[in-house]
């Protein structure tokens, strides 16, 4: 059976080795095992990262960018094999897997412009013969803890800005689908990065805690559930680290009466059920305004759901595949039962879905609830599966209040032809990322990604200039070069006025 080991300089492994099972979500069978590391493995990785970091940081930014350019080319050349590997462990269909890689690749492309992005500010003549300038310098060794749902994109979001800025990086991916992160590290080394600049360690909570406590790691980036994000943030900050921790979501799709209903339904179906709903930017809540809009939306959603093709991840005709593990399948189905118990109307039930020849696969059929209310825990909490809930709103103000008052504030979308309503909604809604007739408003790589409330802990967003600010610290230099005359004997600090 295939064994996935750490990607650490020297191949250091602890004498006491634990393993985790990696499943094929399509069949339910174990296809590989991953080595779960401990403190000794992390110590070896940190030592190698510390050894490599000074020379990597001293390399001029243009030369680091050349490594990233070659890395970008290698990812593109290996896109198909990476997508197939990702799909085989995660369960998302090949097109979704390619999208996963592509959105991460766009951040690498942004980071290829790192010489421009790291430019500081300069003030000539801030005082008599005095100039002031700033520079952005790396933190040292960074670490990333990433979730199972985007095993290529989120690691690339983290380590590309970090290493571009001159840090070295230790990645701890999900133990459920660890092969693609290892492969990305191999390609980065092939692109010309020195050993130790990017390493991958595998593990569970033991490794997470070791990362959060390790004195040799300066900063940690995390994406996962909100409870764990809060834990990571609190423990990491207590250990003196800079931490950004992205949590869960419950994104809403507001459907105005004037919306292009066919387009809205197509977008909501794709956003709610694509990748089996295992996306923090999915749209699991549809909010039609007015009873007439709700009835039209419900009818069209039911018709669209009937045409969805759920299949194995390698099936080019499948629109989504299985969820990642049997445990996660049970969790999603338990939430469906909770919705029923709480009084929501189950319109389409995805439980018990079976695919001929793959009866042991981790499949959940598309599920639709109507007449969901804000008091229901199935509405308040993140389900993270192919479950769509309709929450009816009587007017615009009530629809606006739903995402604004929810504990999560990751993303939201509004479907309308009314520019004033869209503008008002975007300005007032208390959510970090807003889509106007865009179902999954993940910003492009030269902006940044981040939610509000319990969807994010920390002061910096992912990637873009926000990401670079997270992975660097600012140094301010005030300088004077006297000409030797008597008038230059006193140093006068510039003041206002």
Residue 463 CA to residue 109 CA, distance in Å, equals: 11
SS3 content of the chain, % helix, strand, coil (to 5): 40, 20, 40
Task: Identify the burial level of 170 via C-beta atoms within 10 angstroms of its C-beta, where 0-12 means exposed, 13-18 middle and 19 or more buried.
Answer: buried
Looking at the fold, whether 395 and 411 belong to one and the same domain comes out as yes
Residue 287 pairs in a beta bridge with 254
Name the CA radius of gyration of the chain, rounded: 25
Q: Which of 111, 224, 194 is nearest to 160 (CA)?
A: 111
Residue 117 lies in a domain: yes
Looking at the fold, whether 225 and 266 belong to one and the same domain comes out as no
Looking at the fold, whether 408 and 310 belong to one and the same domain comes out as yes
Cβ contact 178:145 at 8 Å: no
Residue 258 CA to residue 264 CA, distance in Å, equals: 11
State the CATH number of the domain containing residue 58.
3.40.605.10
Residue 366 CA to residue 319 CA, distance in Å, equals: 11
Residue 448 lies in a domain: no
Instruction: Show the CA angle centred on residue 72, arms to residues 440 and 202, nearest 5°.
Output: 75
Among 45, 101, 153, 280, the one annotated catalytic: 280
Looking at the fold, whether 174 and 261 belong to one and the same domain comes out as no
- Residue ranges for the chain with pLDDT beneath 50: none
Looking at the fold, whether 212 and 265 belong to one and the same domain comes out as no
Looking at the fold, whether 219 and 97 belong to one and the same domain comes out as yes
- pLDDT for the residue numbered 191: 98
Looking at the fold, whether 363 and 240 belong to one and the same domain comes out as no
Cβ contact 291:347 at 8 Å: no
Residue 239 CA to residue 394 CA, distance in Å, equals: 48
Looking at the fold, whether 408 and 269 belong to one and the same domain comes out as yes
Residue 283 CA to residue 271 CA, distance in Å, equals: 5
- pLDDT for the residue numbered 367: 98
Cβ contact 10:40 at 8 Å: no
Residue 284 CA to residue 281 CA, distance in Å, equals: 9
State the CATH number of the domain containing residue 389.
3.40.309.10
Residue 491 lies in a domain: no
- pLDDT for the residue numbered 495: 63
Domain count, the chain: 2
Looking at the fold, whether 432 and 460 belong to one and the same domain comes out as no
Residue 495 lies in a domain: no
Tokens representing residue 437 in the block: 């007739």
Looking at the fold, whether 216 and 232 belong to one and the same domain comes out as yes
C-alpha 99: how far from chain center: 13
Task: Return the H-helix or E-strand segment holding 66.
Answer: helix 61-77
Task: Identify the burial level of 142 via C-beta atoms within 10 angstroms of its C-beta, where 0-12 means exposed, 13-18 middle and 19 or more buried.
Answer: buried
Range of the structural domain that residue 205 is part of: 2-247+455-477
Residue 395 lies in a domain: yes
**111: annotated active-site residue:** no
Looking at the fold, whether 41 and 186 belong to one and the same domain comes out as yes
**Residue ranges of E strands in 25-111:** 29-36
Per DSSP bridges, beta strands 345-348 and 367-370 are antiparallel
Looking at the fold, whether 201 and 274 belong to one and the same domain comes out as no
- pLDDT for the residue numbered 433: 96
Q: Which of 35, 348, 321, 350 is nearest to 178 (CA)?
A: 35
């Amino acid at each position: 059976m295939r064994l996935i080991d750490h990607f650490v300089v020297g191949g250091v492994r602890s004498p006491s080795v634990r393993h985790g099972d990696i499943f094929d979500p399509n069949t339910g069978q174990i296809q590989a095992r991953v080595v779960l590391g401990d403190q000794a493995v992390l110590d070896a990785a940190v030592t190698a990262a510390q050894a490599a970091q000074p020379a990597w940081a001293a390399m001029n930014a243009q030369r680091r960018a050349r490594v990233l350019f070659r890395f970008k080319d290698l990812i593109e050349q290996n896109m198909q094999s990476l997508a197939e590997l990702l799909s085989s462990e995660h369960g998302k269909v090949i097109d979704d897997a390619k999208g996963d890689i592509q959105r991460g690749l766009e951040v690498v492309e942004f980071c290829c412009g790192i010489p421009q992005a790291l430019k500081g500010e300069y003030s000539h003549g801030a005082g008599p013969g005095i100039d002031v300038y700033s520079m952005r310098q790396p933190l040292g060794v960074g670490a990333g803890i990433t979730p199972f749902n985007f095993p290529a994109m989120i690691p690339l979001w983290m380590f590309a800005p970090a290493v571009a800025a001159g840090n070295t990086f230790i990645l701890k991916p999900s133990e459920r689908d660890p092969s693609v992160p290892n492969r990305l590290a191999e390609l980065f080394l092939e692109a010309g990065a020195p050993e130790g600049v990017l390493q991958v360690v595998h593990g569970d909570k033991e490794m997470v805690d070791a990362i959060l406590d390790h004195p040799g790691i300066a900063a940690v980036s995390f994406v996962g559930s909100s409870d764990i994000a809060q834990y990571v943030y609190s423990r990491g900050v207590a250990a003196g680290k800079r931490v950004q921790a992205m949590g869960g979501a419950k994104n809403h799709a507001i459907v105005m009466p004037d919306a292009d209903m066919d387009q809205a339904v197509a977008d909501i179906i794709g956003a709610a059920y694509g990748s089996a709903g295992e996306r923090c930017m999915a749209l699991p809540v549809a909010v039609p305004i007015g009873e007439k809009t709700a009835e039209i939306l419900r009818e069209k959603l039911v018709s669209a759901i009937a045409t969805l093709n759920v299949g194995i991840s390698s099936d080019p005709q499948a629109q989504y595949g299985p969820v990642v593990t049997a445990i996660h399948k049970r969790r999603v189905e338990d939430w469906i039962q909770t919705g029923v118990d709480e009084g929501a109307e189950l319109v389409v039930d995805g439980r018990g879905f079976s695919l001929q020849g793959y009866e042991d696969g981790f499949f959940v059929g598309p599920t639709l609830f109507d007449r969901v209310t804000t008091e229901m825990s199935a509405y308040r909490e993140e389900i993270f599966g192919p479950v769509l809930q309709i929450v009816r709103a009587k007017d615009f103000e009530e629809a606006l209040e739903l995402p604004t008052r929810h504990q999560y504030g990751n993303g939201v979308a509004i479907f309308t032809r009314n520019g004033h309503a869209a503008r008002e909604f975007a300005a007032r809604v208390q959510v970090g990322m807003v889509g106007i007739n865009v179902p999954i408003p993940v910003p492009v790589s030269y902006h940044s990604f981040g939610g509000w409330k319990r969807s994010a802990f920390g002061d910096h967003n992912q990637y873009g200039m926000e990401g670079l600010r997270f992975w660097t610290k600012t140094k301010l230099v005030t300088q004077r070069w006297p000409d030797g005359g008597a008038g230059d004997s006193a140093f006068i600090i510039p003041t206002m006025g």
